[in-house]
Amino acid sequence: MELVQHERRTIGFRIKKQLLGGLGTFIGLFLLLAIFSMLSDVFLSAGNLQNILIQSATNAIIAAGMTFVIIAGQIDLSVGSLLALTSIISAQIMLDTGSLALGIVCALALGTLLGALNGFFVAYMGLPAFIVTLATMWLFRGSAYVLSKGQAIVGLPEGLRVLATGSFLGIPNIVWVMIVTYVACYFVLTRLTIGRKIYATGDNQESARLSGIHVKAVQVLVFSLSGFLTSIGAIVLMSRLNSAQPVAGTSFELTAIAAAVIGGTSLTKGGVGGIVGTLVGAVFIASLMNGLVIINVSSFWQQVIMGIVILIAVAIDKYRKKISK
């Protein structure tokens, strides 16, 4: 009993620490906005800020799921390919049945199921998450190409397009989806018992097991959440493109991991991270890419700069881990 209470106090302290640590990411975002506002008169315009939020939505939603996985001490490299596969299958269902709702439900169910499949191989087969999700990354992407014959699926229901073009209270629908997603994830991670179990599992699996936590079930759960949230991201991206494409989601796993790491989630130690920081990290990435485009920086140099930013984020994570000992 004392062990359980100690574990709860430890995880609660860790959550509060991450919320405070997220201030550093906010400061970084503020400085980035300030720099680009000096370099361009249009960067801080209402229209461009809205564009940044819309552009960040898909990555932010996928990164939310990635945060759960990384906090639990795992990694998921399959999210980009999973997005493509769920897009292709749900789009085909929409075309065959004429039902937007059925297509969305199937996308969410398929994403969750395939995420759980990743979790099963990791938790119950004892395979490394890196290898499992690397294999399913190729499996899902290849399946998307096979099922679509390498062609984009167009002619989707008009209702799907409304998600991308519509707004509520002056805020784009896509941004509302992102907001609701993060409110729900924040509640799960910081207010529900399962959130504390995820932190405990990532921090120390043996201690979590001795505390009565079903570690394997938690591992399957975080991969299922990752798949579920990736399928939401797939729906959002389909609405923006007004199509489903087998090439969609390429490298999205890298930007999702980057958003989580920039937001303070540690790749080197499980049980460290926070959902608020991930949201700021996703907006940071979108702001950076948007600003670089506005000031006419070459797409080649954009990739170089993004790599440098990620290296800096990992270095900061390493330093944060060192001083916390």
* Confidence (pLDDT) at 22: 58
Instruction: From 252, 323, 279, 222, select the one nearest 85 (Cα to Cα).
Output: 252
Work out how many domains the chain is built from and give that number. Answer: 1
The mean-pLDDT minimum among 63-67, 105-109, 207-211 falls in 207-211
* Confidence (pLDDT) at 1: 45
- Residue 302: which pLDDT band, with cuts at 50, 70 and 90? confident
Mean pLDDT of the residues in the chain = 88
203-238: pLDDT as tens digits? 888 888 888 899 999 999 999 999 999 999 999 999
- Report yes or no: 59 and 262 within 8 Å, Cβ to Cβ: no
CATH code of residue 74: 1.10.3470
- Residue 322: which pLDDT band, with cuts at 50, 70 and 90? low
pTM for the model stands at 0.90
Rounded Cα–Cα distance for residues 202 and 188 (Å)? 16
Instruction: Label residue 17 exposed, middle or buried (CB < 10 Å: 0-12, 13-18, 19+).
Output: middle
* Helix-helix angle 46-71:79-97, to 10 degrees: 110
Rounded Cα–Cα distance for residues 52 and 290 (Å)? 7
pLDDT at 5 over 60: no
Residue 234 domain boundaries: 2-323
Rounded Cα–Cα distance for residues 37 and 294 (Å)? 11
pLDDT at 239 over 90: yes
Residue 82 to residues 117, 144, 234, 244, Cα–Cα distance (Å): 12, 9, 9, 13
pLDDT at 146 over 60: yes
Amino acid at site 175: V
Rounded Cα–Cα distance for residues 200 and 159 (Å)? 42
Instruction: From 47, 50, 52, 57, select the one nearest 236 (Cα to Cα).
Output: 57
Instruction: DSSP for 3-25, please give it.
Output: HHHHHHHHHHHHHHHHHHHHHHH
**C-alpha radius of gyration, the chain, whole number:** 20
Residue 307 to residues 22, 122, 311, 314, Cα–Cα distance (Å): 21, 29, 6, 11
Rounded Cα–Cα distance for residues 254 and 306 (Å)? 11
Residues with Cβ within 8 Å of 282's Cβ and at least 6 positions away in sequence, in order, are 56, 59, 60, 63, 259, 263
Residues with Cβ within 8 Å of 220's Cβ and at least 6 positions away in sequence, in order, are 116, 119, 120, 122, 123, 124
pLDDT at 199 over 90: yes
Residues pairing with 168 in the sheet? 171
Amino acid at site 282: A
**Coil, helix or strand for 251?**
coil
Rounded Cα–Cα distance for residues 201 and 209 (Å)? 8
